[in-house]
Amino acid sequence: MTFLYKLHSTFLNAWYKGDPLLFFLLPVAWLYRFYMHVRKAWLQRGSNLPPPVPIIVVGNITLGGTGKTPLVIWLTQQLTHLGFSVGIVNRGYGGNLKSASYWAVKSGDDPKTVGDEALLLSNKTGCPVYVGADRQEVTKKLVQETGSEIVISDDGLQHYRLPRTLEIAVMDGNLGLGNQRCLPAGPLREPPSRLKEVDFIITQGEPAVSQGFVLKQTPKYFIDLKGGEKKPLHAFAGTTVHAVAGIAHPDRFFRALKDLGIEVIPHPFPDHNAYRARDLAFEGSYPIIMTEKDAVKCHYFGCERSFACVAEPEVASNGTPFLFQVIQRLQQRGYFAMDHRLLNILVCPLCKGTLVYRKEEQELICKFDKLAFPIRDEIPVMLEEEARKLSSEELERL
């Protein structure tokens, strides 16, 4: 266990479990909060014109990982499946871009240059991923060079120079906001009131702030880092493995492996850890299983008996599907209108059944509920009180 990981764990325990010594850091936290308020006002000055393409910012208000990158992967895959051209911008944490203001990530890039998350995003989505410190400039280059119709910013909730169409905050449902204090007396980058300004709140784990959206990551299979061979989830059940996790909350990964019946020898590392071959030189001949984020850095070592646990993210909802609400919010802000691609996700808000698009009448028809939802200014109005009841004659003609 490294010094940095121990220090990180110490602060996490203090912020989330309580420590009276944090009281002495409150004056610094107040100064930090004031600084963030002034900084936000300064960076947001000037034009409020909407960006030429919708920009979706996925971020959080707590220090550390909450599931932003898995959510970006899921959202990108869903939008791409609908036929939209999606590009991603990322800061490139863990990388070291010295010679360029931005970088278009390619599959063979060194994670020490572009960052582990950027390379993972590129590998998992197949979409353009651009990294750089100035997200506004990077976004401009991305749109110019790739023609992306939608831009998703992985992190960047506090990067106020970047215009945004829609904001999504991701929270750890188990940890919540800790003691609800700003750094360094607590884990918050911004005060809790910031969550009232975002469009959606998604929790990973049990909802601490509920909008009904929960991010889940389901293990699917293991993949050999050297040969690329896939192994089923039961392949290591009942065996002992070295588990490696250089993420914000490694215990979550260790628990996931244990739930698969695996005996785990845990090896936590700091988030974005720059691995060396000797870091994985464990005693014994047990297999090594790591996260996908760690694997993009460790596969270069050509490690024998090393595997990545491949997980697929998903956003569960107890009501209207999250993707539909995202598209609807973008439409309300002047993007896409009644795009034919949206018919693949539009459903009746009552029965969740498919709809029939009547172009001339500018209506969406639900045969089951006998309702016609209006399309006004090319935006579907999916409200029962705004829908028209269909007559028997109309239903027979459909």
DSSP for 248-267, please give it: S-HHHHHHHHHHTT-EEEEE
Cα separation values, 343 from 90, 128, 334, 337, 354, Å: 30, 25, 18, 12, 9
Closest CA to 168 of 184, 181, 183, 156: 156
- Concatenating the DSSP letter of every residue in 179-242 gives T--BTTTSSBSS-GGGGGTSSEEEEESS-SS-SSEEEEEEEEEEEETTT--EE-GGGGTTSEEE
Amino acid 196 reads K
Query: 250-283 in b/e burial notation, b at 16+ Cβ within 10 A?
Result: bebbbebbeebebebeebbbbbbbebeeebbeee
Per-domain residue ranges of the chain: 3-209, 217-313, 343-397
The token pair that represents 398 in the structure block: 């459909």
Pair type for strands 55-59 and 150-154: parallel
- Nearest Cα to Cα of residue 22 among 178, 239, 228, 206: 178
- Tens digit of pLDDT per residue, the chain (398 long)? 567 677 778 888 899 988 888 999 999 999 999 999 999 999 988 667 789 999 999 999 998 888 999 999 999 999 999 899 999 999 998 788 766 689 999 988 999 999 999 999 999 999 999 999 999 999 999 999 999 999 999 999 999 999 999 999 999 988 899 999 999 999 999 999 999 999 999 999 776 555 779 999 999 999 999 889 999 999 999 999 999 999 988 999 999 999 999 999 999 999 989 999 999 999 889 999 999 999 999 988 767 899 999 999 999 887 778 998 898 899 889 898 777 777 777 888 889 888 988 888 999 999 999 999 999 887 888 889 999 999 988 888 87
The Cα 256–Cα 233 span in angstroms is 11
Distance CA 166, CA 390 (A): 35
Q: What is the pLDDT of residue 9?
A: 82
What SS3 state is found at 268? strand
Give the closest residue to 87 by CA, choosing from 105, 109, 107, 114: 105
Residue 256 near residue 216, CB atoms below 8 Å: no
Q: Which helix (H) or strand (E) holds 155?
A: none
Residue 172 burial (CB < 10 Å; 0-12/13-18/19+)? buried
CATH T-level topology, domain 343-397: N-terminal domain of TfIIb (2.20.25)
